[in-house]
Amino acid sequence: MNDSETDSAPGGIDPAVRAELTRLRDSIDNIDAAVVHMLAERFKCTQQVGRLKAEHDLPPADPAREARQIARLRGLAESAKLDPAFAEKLLNFIIAEVIRHHERIAEGTQTGDEGTGE
Ligand SMILES: O=C(O)C(=O)C[C@]1(C(=O)O)C=C[C@@H](O)C=C1
């Protein structure tokens, strides 16, 4: 249910429920903003890694490094009571995009700034 659907709930919403929903959504919006900012910083780092790898003829992907990152993140997820499988899928999704950026940098088809908004 989206905002307009909750707004048009039959009989209206109890004001206390509405206040609690608004409070939770405010926190969700702050968290989403933090995630975007953290991802932007991560991509700035990985673009530099991509340029370094291209300059030194290193392969875009490093499966051994990825295996260590996944093991570490799964442990962190468990401690944080987050589903480790979800954490792994999310990291794999991000890394796949990073590898695409690395490949484009190595091909010389991008400057290395894509994904950073620069
Ligand atoms: O650490 C590297 O070598 C990177 O290129 C960064 C990164 C990552 O996004 O964390 C991406 C690709 C590699 O396979 C491993 C890790």
Q: Could you report the predicted ipTM of this complex, rounded to two decimals? A: 0.99
CA of 76 to the centre of ligand 1 (A): 18
97 lines ligand 1 (CB under 6 A): no
CB neighbour list of residue 6: distance below 8 Å, 6 or more residues apart = 13, 21
Nearest 5°: CA angle at 29, between 85 and 26? 120
**pLDDT value at residue 118:** 47
- Examine residue 113 and state whether it is found in any structural domain, yes or no: no
Q: For residue 5, tell me if it sits in a domain.
A: no
Q: Which CATH number does the domain housing residue 71 bear? A: 1.20.59.10
Q: Which structural domain, as residue segments, surrounds residue 55?
A: 11-107
What six digits make up the tokens of 116?
């950073």
pLDDT in tens, 85-106: 999 999 999 999 999 999 999 9
31 falls within a domain: yes
SS3 content of the chain, % helix, strand, coil (to 5): 75, 0, 25
Q: How many CB atoms lie within 10 A of CB 70?
A: 16
pLDDT digits (tens, 9 = 90+) for 34-88: 999 999 999 999 999 999 999 999 999 999 999 999 999 999 999 999 999 999 9
Determine whether the shortest distance from the Cβ of 47 to ligand 1 is under 6 A: no
Atom of ligand 1 lying closest to residue 95 CA? 9
Closest ligand 1 atom to Cα of 61: 14
